A = this chain, B = another copy of it.
Amino acid sequence: MSAADDLPEARFFRGGVRLPALPPFDRGQAYGDALFETLRAHRGELPWWDAHWARLTLGAQRLGLALPDPERVRAEALELLAGADAVLKLILSRGAGGRGYAPPARAEPVWTLSRHPLPPPPRAGGLRLRWCELRLAEQPALAGLKHCNRLEQVLARAEWDDPDIDEGLLRNVAGEAVCATAANVFVLHGRQWTTPPVDRCGVAGVCRQRLIELSAARVAAVAADELQRADAIFLCNAVRGILPVARLGERQWAPHPAVAELRRRLGDAHPAFVPGDD
């Protein structure tokens, strides 16, 4: 197992042609008119490729973006990974356009692949969270998509620089918990897992979807105080799998066997998420 601990590397393409850099007038740069996917690679393979591509396809349909050839993208991704354990990021933009919001009629999609080192292992014993002040705006036309309009997440993540805090939970305007800045959230009451809906804000995470199936979670609003009363909570994303939570403000949780059980099951679904000794 080789670790991609080198510097990140990015490659740019328009349609099927590799480019030396992002071309000028890219609508991703201009308007965030783009989607992205972040995939966990294991020994150079992308076990959840199909699920990521399916989400990208759905997002492209909703935004009216053209898709490049999936086989070409996957082949380039695998070449870039070169066998490594790493994070692969794909940005798909609508392509070049002049000034003005009107989507160009025949823009060729521009896509960027980049390889990044694995994130550091999560804090032993579980994450420490805070509530973010920023409330997520409700925009059903964009909710669920992993689009590149991410200033809300940037502002929320900028609310703290205390290294003792690992992640921040975000609420909607009604005060319900939606997600963390870069992860979805699952909440356990008794034997029932719940995760908030993502049809008004939030991202429909690939790992979230897998875990809804593995845990028979219901998708329902989670008031902030329900979260405080939960028997266990965890965060999840497709780069880090399940991240058990140990603390949210004053509230603390001991490790819970239901989380350990789900981590085992997730390890069966993606070899990079086989639980270690943490």
- Interface positions of A (Cβ within 8 A of B): 8, 10, 12, 20-34, 36, 38, 63-64, 87, 89, 91, 93, 98-103, 112, 114, 116, 134, 137-139, 141-142, 147-158, 173, 181-182
In whole Å, how far is A54's beta carbon from the nearest beta carbon of chain B? 21
B residues in contact with A151, CB < 8 Å:
31-33, 63, 142, 147, 149
The answer to whether A138 and B8 touch across the interface, beta carbons within 8 angstroms, is no
| Smallest beta-carbon distance A129→chain B, Å | 15
Copies assembled: 2
**Considering only CB atoms, which chain B residue lies closest to A142 in the complex?**
B151
Residue of B nearest to A105 (CB): B161
Whether the pair A138, B137 counts as a contact (CB closer than 8 A) is yes
Contacts of A10 in B (CB 8 A): 24-25
Shortest Cβ gap from A158 to chain B (Å): 5
A24 adjacent to B158 (CB under 8 Å)? no
A91 to B22, Cβ gap below 8 A?
no
Task: Return chain B residues, CB-CB under 8 Å to A103.
Answer: 154, 157-158
